[in-house]
Amino acid sequence: MYWKRKSKATFRKPKVAEETIALIREMAENNRLWGAERIRGELLKLGLRVCKRTIQKYMRGVRTQRPRGQKWSTFLNTHAAHIWACDFLLITDLFFRPLFAFFLIELHSRKVIHVSVTRSPTDA
């Protein structure tokens, strides 16, 4: 119990001043495209030396992760009528000879637009 009490961290004053923390948070909030490295550079111009990791720690509370743009499923639902998919696959026939098939399909209706089968994929 003695060593547990000895090793317990005592309340320490933060090594970074409150004004600097407030400045980091303000910079992070007002300049959404600035990362920790850019904010560190701006603070160095003001004569304040703060490491990148410390800046990231104080930026974390200001910047919330919000979804950017649309999801892939939303994109597909919106544009499926105008998107075609293609595939090139290998098929074996009854005598285990290779056949190569190429097909185009419209995503919205799942309608097959074109199918072509050949023994040699380099043929026209």
Domain count, the chain: 2
Specify the 3-state DSSP secondary structure of 88.
Answer: strand
Same domain, 82 and 44: no
Q: Confirm whether 33 is domain-assigned.
A: yes
Structure tokens at 35: 């990362």
Q: Return the axis-axis angle of helices 52-59 and 36-45, rounded to nearest 10°.
A: 110
**Side by side, which strands form the sheet with 111-118?**
84-92, 98-106, 111-118
What is the C-alpha to C-alpha distance for residues 87 and 91, in angstroms, rounded to an integer? Answer: 12
Same domain, 114 and 92: yes
pLDDT digits (tens), the chain, 124 positions: 888 877 777 666 668 889 999 999 999 988 888 999 999 999 999 999 999 999 999 988 787 666 677 888 888 888 888 899 999 899 999 999 999 999 999 988 889 999 999 988 886 6
